[in-house]
Amino acid sequence: TNVMLDAAVGAVGFTIVITFLALTVALLITFPLALPCAWLLFVSSRALSAIERSRLAALLGERITDPVAPFVATGPWGRFVERLRSRDRWREIAYHVLALPRGVFTTVVAGVAWCGSAALVLLPLYVGSLPGGTAKFWLFEVGPGLGAIALALLGVVGLAVVAPWATLAVTHAQSSI
Q: Give percent of the chain with pLDDT exceeding 70.
A: 97
Segments of the chain scoring below 50 in pLDDT:
none
Measured CA to CA in angstroms, residue 144 lies from 5, 121, 132, 157 at distances of 36, 13, 11, 20
In this prediction, residue 159 carries a pLDDT of 95
In this prediction, residue 176 carries a pLDDT of 60
Q: How far apart are the first and last CA of the chain?
A: 18
For 97-112, what is each residue's pLDDT tens digit?
Answer: 999 999 999 999 999 9
- The backbone region for 145, taken as left when phi is positive above 0, alpha when psi lies in -120 to 50, beta otherwise, is left
In this prediction, residue 115 carries a pLDDT of 95
For 19-40, what is each residue's pLDDT tens digit?
Answer: 999 999 999 999 899 999 999 9
- In DSSP notation, the chain reads -HHHHHHHHHHHHHHHHHHHHHHHHHGGGGHHHHHHHHHHHHHHHHHHHHHHHHHHHHHH-------SPPP---SHHHHHHHHHH-HHHHHHHHHHHHHHHHHHHHHHHHHHHHHHHHHHHTHHHHGGGSGGGSEE-SS-EE-TTHHHHHHHHHHHHIIIIIHHHHHHHHHHHHHT-
Q: What angle is formed at CA 108 by the lines to CA 41 and CA 67, rounded to 5 degrees?
A: 35
In this prediction, residue 175 carries a pLDDT of 63
